[in-house]
Amino acid sequence: MNMYCPLSPFLIPVILLRMTCYRMTITYDGTAYCGWQVQPNGTTIQELIEQALEVLLKEHLTVHGSGRTDAGVHALAQVAHVHTPGPIDTEKTLMALNGLLPQDIRILDLEAASDHFHARYSATGKEYHYHLTLGRFQDPFARLYSWHVRRRLDVSLLRQGATLFVGTHDFTSFANEAHAGCAAHDAVRTIKRLDVIGDERHLRLEFEGDGFLYRMVRNIVGLLVEVASGKRPTGDIPKLLAAKDRRLAGQAAPSHGLFLVNVFYPQER
């Protein structure tokens, strides 16, 4: 007997009434969306997953992501959790969710998690990649997935600049306010790795760190492109970090070059 929702074939009948936590790994092409998080002015990925779950489980449940991604930002492996009113058949639910979701969002994995698991607060780190296309013309196949920089870039300057961000710093100068007047209390973060990989046509900047402030990756990429195109000396980077003033550090790189690639949790590393 299904005690929770007699309408839904996705809930497994259980004896005890208890919430159950599930963890999902999600990939999405962010082009068509107003970002991850539910908001009043446009369709978001979180919203579509919650709607699909509601169709299956006949109940509105909140899906908690590891963090927001902005409009146009993509994910290879966003992680989220959801508490269901009872155990679910993960295999059936996974297939059914993907059947309901549009083709630019796919749940790659759905599994039971500890009740203490929280996609955001349990995360110990994240990996982001930022893609640049160089050269005279944007590759049509990369146009939605990379920033086309026509200026000539000095890749060795880009690499030099990148190393100056690695380590533990106060990143206030590279963090936007997520909401008006709402800056992070503590802007100290550790970038473990910032690798510049690629050739004269495409570059990929791989960021790995314990956490990233709002727009931090895009702000750092924007500055590194200024450095690599000779507009600013690399020596500005330590000065900007020390200044702790967002107004000094120039423009963010556009959202469509950014991919959330991995979210790390304690048991995995």
Asked whether position 54 contacts a copy of itself by CB under 8 A, the answer is no
Half-sphere exposure of 116 (CA within 13 A, CB side): 3
The interface with a copy of itself within residues 69-128 (CB under 8 A) comprises 74, 98, 103-108
199 is catalytic: no
Nearest distance, CB of residue 264 and a copy of itself, angstroms: 22
> Least Å distance between CB 97 and a copy of itself?
10
Nearest to a copy of itself of 105, 227 (CB atom): 105
For a copy of itself, the closer of residues 121 and 141 by Cβ is: 141
Site string for a copy of itself, 13-32 (x = CB under 8 A): --------------xxx---
Q: How far are the Cα atoms of 29, 62, 71, 130, 162 from residue 165, in angstroms, in the given order?
A: 28, 36, 25, 15, 6
Count of residues near a copy of itself by CB under 8 A: 18
Contact 150, 225 (CB under 8 A): no
106, amino acid identity: R
User: Does residue 145 bind a copy of itself (CB under 8 A)?
Assistant: yes
Binding site for a copy of itself (CB under 8 A): 27-29, 74, 98, 103-108, 137-141, 143, 145
Catalytic residue annotation = 70
